[in-house]
Chains A and B, each alone.
Chain A
Amino acid sequence: GESVGLHLPTLSVQEGDNSIINCAYSNSASDYFIWYKQESGKGPQFIIDIRSNMDKRQGQRVTVLLNKTVKHLSLQIAATQPGDSAVYFCAENSGGSNYKLTFGKGTLLTVNP
């Protein structure tokens, strides 16, 4: 999960396993959440998003779960591949009309062949 400080949380999985990356968000008024993937040397890329009126959303090989009761978000990656190795960020929009996102610190996913 996310944490403060200089050390990035890490998750190491075997190729073919399922991965679960967790994120705790801070603002109970947030109504939109998004997961980004950032590969080394590149900018973050959109993976999947979810609105607060949903608790689950599925994409291709990815599922996002939202638990508003405990302010928790998770990203599940099925059949993890070496190309999934990256830093994953969750972000929340705290409402309002300015479309600002607040990002988590990120989790480094390493997929072992």
Chain B
Amino acid sequence: DVKVTQSSRYLVKRTGEKVFLECVQDMDHENMFWYRQDPGLGLRLIYFSYDVKMKEKGDIPEGYSVSREKKERFSLILESASTNQTSMYLCASSRDTNEQFFGPGTRLTVL
């Protein structure tokens, strides 16, 4: 079975802190994605990567950056966390099909 893991299930940070969210997949998938999920807004794509060191902006990249140094790992970085970045963050991966496999999510609270 494909497994996508995220480093934390719950995270509490203060405004202005630098935050790292880590995602690891074990199925050698080329594509990896970061979404945020907010009530009533569904899943919105922040960034995605289709290969090591490659990244593309999604629909809401402002305030975020990403890093993909190894194929299995895709990191989401909040350079200076703000309260409006309080959300559920979901990581996903896919091969050369459209089906994306999701991790369990990280619920981030920024105080």
Please give the residue numbers on chain A whose beta carbons come within 8 Å of chain B beta carbons, in ascending order: 5-8, 32, 34, 36, 41-46, 49, 89, 93, 98-106
Contacts and interface: CB of A to CB of B under 8 A. Distances in A.
Secondary structure call for the B interface: strand
A2 B110 CA distance: 29
A102 B97 CA distance: 15
A109 to B, nearest CB: 15
B40 A43 contact: no
Contacts of A44: 43, 90, 102
A104 B42 contact: yes
A102 B33 CA distance: 12
A91 to B, nearest CB: 8
Contacts of B4: 43
Nearest to B41: A105
Contact of B48 (A41, A42, A98): A98
B40 A5 contact: yes
Contacts of A104: 42
Contact of A103 (B31, B43, B97, B103): B43
